[in-house]
Structure 1
Amino acid sequence: MPFHDSDKQSASKEVVASVSEATVEAAVDERKLLRRIDWHVVPWLALLYLLNFLDRGNIGNARLYHMQDDLHITDQQYLIALTVFFFPYALFEPPSNVALRRLRPSRWLSFIMLVWGIVMTMHGLARNYGDLVALRVLLGLAEAGLYPGVVFYLSCWYKRSELGTRVAAFFTSATVAGAFSGLLAAAISNMDGVGGKPGWSWIFILEGLFTVLCAVASFWILEDFPENAKFLNDAERSWVISRLQDDMKFSAGGEKFKIKYVWQSIKDWKTWVAMGIYMGFDGPLFAFSLFTPTIINQLGFEATVANLLSVPVYAWACIVTFGVGVLGDRIGHRAYINLALFSIGLAGYIILIASRKPSLSYFAVYLAAAAIYPTIPNSVAWVSSNVEGSYKRSATLGMAIGWGNLNGAVSSNVYRAVDKPWYRLGHGIVLAYIAIGWLCSLLFYFLLRRENAVRETGARDEVIEGVDNPRANPRNGIFKSEEEAQMEKGDEWSGFRYSL
């Protein structure tokens, strides 16, 4: 029987009410339970995103093994095939995130993974340009829900001061995928001619079949939300839900879906500024992941060597990403980290534009990787921690990530064959994206800080029945209790403080 939101909400309240605070403290070892949550939640999600990123970007590796020649497509047609992926990918992210909250993650995420695994396998059977375009559209549609869904899902498990490390641990799989894709493509290319199929075809087929197998396993391995996770007992569920509510996640444990929560997200200025931040790193991310092998190849290295030279770049990005995730949770000032990382990215792409030496350009690629990849989990944790209400947060993340990913349609067209080997136009456009991310991060910081200051003055205080508050203003809302105000207003509640 499906576990609906109203059932979840009432069940979680019953769990919290039935287990006393003293009983919970006696029954729960916080460090051990957090470690157990980590092991049940993060590793499998990291594997799923590794496969997601691998399947999305392996077309760049396959291209080096004569895919274009065999399919008889031009450079322009190849870029169009990359572009069409992003439209369904971006447009279906917001509704997929809302669907995830209403459905069970173990079912929804596993289902979309199964579909994209099948589509990826079919890439290896493509015969012409039309086949490739149709498959890229279907792949974008199927993959749309994973990344925003996982980010939202993690935000339902961890406090704001814990989220950055977990998102970074999950997201490092993208850097591992970047490194692993080069090694894997180089190895699979040796199957050229097996079964009458070229090496690039086997890259798609084998990687797609492995995704299908993992999707089937996910139906049993993936956990759902804290209020109905199978590995927790009642005392542990109560502890998880209570600590999230104490961290200003008032909707922890479930809330009933109301369309007004989606409208709250659309009308919130934070959503639109966040879209600018996501634009600042998602545009560069797709350009970097799709074209790194090609860029290195055009610097004078053969296909297999170019794939292998991309491995240490992604290994470095993996280390920096996880380190920044830990640092963000420790110091709590994610704005400063964002500004520093975007600045490193600006330096990297300025060097790429100016350089005429392969060694210097290769060094700049390391700077770019160290800027783009760590910025993503830091920004995700920053935005997520400042949006309360599970449906509002899911809508905000869906729109921000969807808009950011839509810019992949632009950045996947900026590295034109006529611009090789230095690709000044492509690097210049990516530089502009990073500048937008830097400016929006600064704006987000100042607006959040200003709103915190306004709330300290009491200008946002609501009228709470039975509470004498001379600063309360009916324009801010009239509520029967503080708890009602928290649940109805989320992060707009006067007592909510934004993290900077």
Structure 2
Amino acid sequence: MTDADRKPDLRDHVEPVESRKPTLEHIDDDPVYSYKDQRKIIRRVDIRLILMLGFMHCVCLIDRGNLGSAAVAGMKKELDLIGNRYNKIAVSFFPPYICLQVFGPILVRKIGPVNYLSGVCFIWGAVMLSGGFVKEWPQLVGIRIIIGALEAGFFPACVYLISTWYTRYDIQRRYAIFYLLGCVASAFTGILSYGITFMNGLQGLSAWRWIFIIQGLITCAIATVGWFILVDFPDRMESSKRKFMSNDEYEFILRRIEKDRGDVLLEPFNARKYFAAGLDINIWAFGFIYFSCTTTAYAVTYFLPSIYEKGMGFSEGTSLCLFAPPYAAAGVLMVVTSWIGDKYHIRGPILIFNALVTITGLPLLGFTSGVAPRMVGAFLTTMGCNANIPAAMAYQANNIRGQWKRAFASAVFVGLGASGGMTGSLIFRTQDAPGYHPGILTCVGLSVLIIIMVMLLSVRFYILNKRVDRGELVIGNLPGFKYTY
């Protein structure tokens, strides 16, 4: 085969490794497409990947977090959820969810994003639907365990899939949009649930049962749409039957990723190397930052309606409807801070700012007596903790090289985040109402921990980057690669 017959390789237009500089100006200097054309190609990826995954994550969070709405809508009374029975139902989701996280990135690679992500989404929607027909509260525990097992690999697989399509300084905005759609779900779960309460008694079923049935049906519908729209990994799209761009456009995506971090080509799976990534202290630090973020975020999702009802004296319907406005405000803060983080190539300061917003809101929510200051606290707490979710995801994604290491990091990261969910479902106990002071103080402490860990990592990254500048260190086997802090 002559050089003229040889198929162009994605490395043909990539500068030698030693000359790479991880800046957007360098990455955007493509030999084939203008900057305007590049943006058009990436927007097409955004529509097929980010929006579809966002909608699927949306129903994922609805199914995971509708327990609070169902509790307010009569589930506690009908299933006799006295003592800590409600907490047991809430926490039962998390053990299988945490234990099975690590398999998500492997399965999505082996089975493919389309079949794996849309398949598990459809199945857990069907299981959620069955929750509307339980007779005793232990049956609901079983359903939550099954949903936890099915959802376990979904989020790390999504985080991993998104990270393979975008460069480091394009990614926080994408994570923000992906997670923002989930926030929209959380915001309007209360309103949707309130509307469903008017079905109380229809076909002999209580309102809370219809919440599970209707939301399970919505999940199955979204999963079906996802099967037709989702895309494969970028390195497999040229041979995929689901191509939505030309081969030249796929080559551009691959060139762009290769310029940014040099890991577009997937190494054969090696279990020893995959789990050896667990020796990287950075991966665990990112995970514990995410754990601290999700503990507060889950606690708000599960208990804010109850705080409104028991702590502020609102009615059932008002409590469900008031669930939405803080999440809408959180979406605004999320988008603004993500845009700033990507534009100015910063990650740590965004995490610290959002943690400070959370720390400001929590005492207002738990230690003031008036409705107005507690409502302000609910807004600030919801805004800060949820805006930090995509910030933590981008912080982790920016500082990991190698696809299988990235896959392992995603699993550990989301697994520890799920541990935060289990913690968040337990720290707000029924006997602590209406102030929930132990839970509030726990969330304050974890927000302070975020600030401390980010500051320590920033010092570490600064020192290591200086060693890279002096030629004393190569990070991730890629000369010129530096940490983002």
Mark yes or no: TM-score above 0.5.
Answer: yes
Distance in structure 1 (CA, Å) of the matches to 2:35 and 2:234: 17
Report which stretch shifted further, 13-22 or 364-373.
Answer: 13-22
Of 223, 232, 235 in structure 1, the residue corresponding to residue 231 of structure 2 is 223
1:370 alignment partner in structure 2:
383
Question: Retained in 2: the 8 A contact 1:15–1:234?
Answer: no
Q: State the Cα distance separating 1:456 from its structure 2 match.
A: 2.1
Distance in structure 2 (CA, Å) of the matches to 1:38 and 1:408: 28
Distance in structure 2 (CA, Å) of the matches to 1:18 and 1:311: 48
Distance in structure 2 (CA, Å) of the matches to 1:449 and 1:18: 30
* 1:433 and 2:411 matched: no
Q: State the Cα distance separating 1:253 from its structure 2 match.
A: 4.1
2:360 alignment partner in structure 1:
347
1:125 alignment partner in structure 2:
133
Question: Retained in 1: the 8 A contact 2:161–2:233?
Answer: yes
* 1:137 and 2:150 matched: no
* 1:296 and 2:308 matched: yes
1:155 alignment partner in structure 2:
163
Question: Retained in 2: the 8 A contact 1:313–1:365?
Answer: yes
Amino acid of the residue matched to residue 263 of structure 2?
S
Amino acid of the residue matched to residue 292 of structure 1?
L
Give the secondary-structure state (helix, strand or coil) at the position aligned to 2:165.
Answer: coil
Amino acid of the residue matched to residue 435 of structure 2?
W
Q: Percent identical across equivalent pairs?
A: 26
* 1:208 and 2:247 matched: no
2:411 alignment partner in structure 1:
398
Distance in structure 1 (CA, Å) of the matches to 2:382 and 2:476: 33
1:76 alignment partner in structure 2:
84
Distance in structure 1 (CA, Å) of the matches to 2:118 and 2:63: 15
* 1:496 and 2:453 matched: no
Of 41, 49, 58 in structure 2, the residue corresponding to residue 33 of structure 1 is 41
Distance in structure 2 (CA, Å) of the matches to 1:493 and 1:414: 43
CA deviation digits over 1:316-348, x for unaligned, max 9? Answer: 111111111111111111111111111111111
Distance in structure 2 (CA, Å) of the matches to 1:26 and 1:132: 55
Of 252, 266, 270 in structure 2, the residue corresponding to residue 239 of structure 1 is 252
- Name the CA shift for 1:245/1:300 in 2 (closer, same or farther; >3 Å): same
2:433 alignment partner in structure 1:
420
Amino acid of the residue matched to residue 16 of structure 1?
D
Q: State the Cα distance separating 1:228 from its structure 2 match.
A: 3.0
- Name the CA shift for 1:286/1:27 in 2 (closer, same or farther; >3 Å): closer
Give the secondary-structure state (helix, strand or coil) at the position aligned to 2:378.
Answer: helix
Distance in structure 1 (CA, Å) of the matches to 2:375 and 2:149: 34
Give the secondary-structure state (helix, strand or coil) at the position aligned to 2:133.
Answer: coil
1:16 alignment partner in structure 2:
9
Amino acid of the residue matched to residue 308 of structure 1?
C
Report which stretch shifted further, 406-415 or 193-202.
Answer: 406-415
Give the secondary-structure state (helix, strand or coil) at the position aligned to 1:160.
Answer: coil
Amino acid of the residue matched to residue 271 of structure 1?
I
Amino acid of the residue matched to residue 343 of structure 1?
L
CA deviation digits over 1:194-215, x for unaligned, max 9? Answer: 1111010001001101111221
Q: State the Cα distance separating 1:14 from its structure 2 match.
A: 5.4
Distance in structure 1 (CA, Å) of the matches to 2:177 and 2:381: 20
TM-score, normalised via structure 2 length: 0.91
CA deviation digits over 1:215-255, x for unaligned, max 9? Answer: 1222221111112331122111111001101001x221433
Residues matched between the structures, number: 459
Question: Retained in 2: the 8 A contact 1:279–1:437?
Answer: no
Unaligned 5+ segments in structure 1 are 1-12, 462-489
Compute the RMSD of aligned alpha carbons.
2.0
1:176 alignment partner in structure 2:
184
Question: Retained in 1: the 8 A contact 2:395–2:484?
Answer: yes
Question: Retained in 2: the 8 A contact 1:279–1:436?
Answer: no
1:480 alignment partner in structure 2:
none
Question: Retained in 2: the 8 A contact 1:85–1:140?
Answer: yes
Q: State the Cα distance separating 1:18 from its structure 2 match.
A: 10
Q: State the Cα distance separating 1:182 from its structure 2 match.
A: 0.8
Question: Retained in 1: the 8 A contact 2:263–2:401?
Answer: yes
Question: Retained in 2: the 8 A contact 1:50–1:174?
Answer: yes
Unaligned 5+ segments in structure 2 are 1-5, 15-29, 238-242
Distance in structure 1 (CA, Å) of the matches to 2:419 and 2:166: 28
1:472 alignment partner in structure 2:
none
Question: Retained in 1: the 8 A contact 2:354–2:388?
Answer: yes
Amino acid of the residue matched to residue 9 of structure 2?
V
CA deviation digits over 1:273-332, x for unaligned, max 9? Answer: 112211110111110111111111111001110111121111111111111111111111
Question: Retained in 2: the 8 A contact 1:274–1:444?
Answer: no
Of 107, 112, 115 in structure 1, the residue corresponding to residue 120 of structure 2 is 112
TM-score, normalised via structure 1 length: 0.88
1:251 alignment partner in structure 2:
263
Amino acid of the residue matched to residue 367 of structure 2?
A
Q: State the Cα distance separating 1:20 from its structure 2 match.
A: 6.9
Amino acid of the residue matched to residue 449 of structure 2?
I
* 1:53 and 2:61 matched: yes
Find runs of 4+ consecutive structure 1 residues off by over 6 angstroms.
18-23
CA deviation digits over 1:255-284, x for unaligned, max 9? Answer: 321224323420101111112211110111
